[in-house]
Amino acid sequence: MLLAIMSLVSCDDSIEENLPKEEFSALNQENKKRCFTMDKLEDNLSKDKNIASKMSAIEEHTRNFIKKGNFKRLANGVIQIPVVFHVIYRWSSENLALSVLQGQIDALNEDFNMQNPNRRALPSEFASVEANVGIKFVIKKVIRVRNFKKRKWRPNDDMKYTSKGGSDAVNPQEFLNFWIVNSMPYKKGQILGYAQFPGGNWATDGIVVAKNFVGPRFRTATHEVGHYLNLRHIWGDGGCYASDFVYDTPNAKGPSRGCPSYPTAECGSNNMTMNFMDYSYDSCMYMFTKGQSYRMNAVFAPGGFREAMAK
C-alpha cells in the first residue's frame, strides 16, 4: 500500500463547457484546468514521511470496515457535516454572497443523496451500483477575509493561514473547512480546486476551490469532497491496471474529457464517465457508487479518521 500511495501522479481537467461568459472570457480556452489534489498529496508525502504510514493505517481500517459489511448506519441515518466557508477576496465581486454559498451546499446535498437532477440519464448498466452516500452538508460559519495584496494564489496552502493572508482552519476534526480564493493559475492553466486526503496535517485539512467554480451549478466541490473523504480518481491515476480501491468502478485508461457519449469503452469495459470522481463536464457527472459510498463512510466509522465529525 505504501508503494501505491507514493506513486500517485498529477491530474488535469478541461475547461467547464458552460462557464458564464463574463467568467469564461478571462480564461484561455486552449488552457487546461487542473485538479491539484494528487499533486498536493505527492508534495505532502515528500515533506512529511509520517503521512504515508497514517494513510496506510486508514486504508487498513477502510478494508476492515468494508470486509465486515456492517453498513446499517448508511440506511438508517444521515451523517451531517458542518461546513466553515473561508471566503478570501480582493474585490467586492469576489466576496461571494451567502446565497451562492448556500447554492453550493444545496449542490453537495443533491450529489451525496442521489438527487442530482441529471441522474435520470444514468445507463441501466450502472443502475445497480448507484449509491445514496447519506451525507448532509450544512453551513456552520462564514469567515470573510479581504486581502488587497493577493490577486492569485498558489496551491501551497497559504490561504489556510491567517499569518499568510488567508484564514486559519476552524476545528477541522469536526468541521469541513472550505476555502474559496479568487484564482489559482498554474503553469499554463488554472486550478479549479484541491483537497487534502485523510491523514494529513489538521491545520491544512479541507478543500480549496477557485471562486469561479463555486455555486449550485458546479461540481468541483463534490469532486474535491470525494477526495477529502478518501476517494481516488476513478481511473486510479494510472492506466488500465491502476486501482481506485473501489470494487464497482470499471477500470479506465485515463480521465474523461468533455461530455462523453455512452458507451465509451476502455480496458475491456464501458467507462463510468458520469462518476463524480472522473473529469467529465459538470453537467455530465451525477453519481457515486456503492463501493465509493462504503469507502467514504469508513472514515466516519468507529476508529475512522473523521469519526469525531459524525458524532
Give the residue numbers marked as catalytic.
Answer: 224
Residues 126 and 273 sit within 8 Å (Cβ to Cβ): no
Exposure string for 212-223, b = 16+ CB within 10 A, e = fewer: bbbbeebbbbbb
Residues 209 and 222 sit within 8 Å (Cβ to Cβ): no
The whole-angstrom separation of Cα 57 and Cα 201 is 15
What lies within 8 Å, CB to CB, of 256 at 6+ separation is 264, 271, 273, 278, 279, 280
Amino acid identity, residue 225?
V
Residue 263 burial (CB < 10 Å; 0-12/13-18/19+)?
Answer: exposed
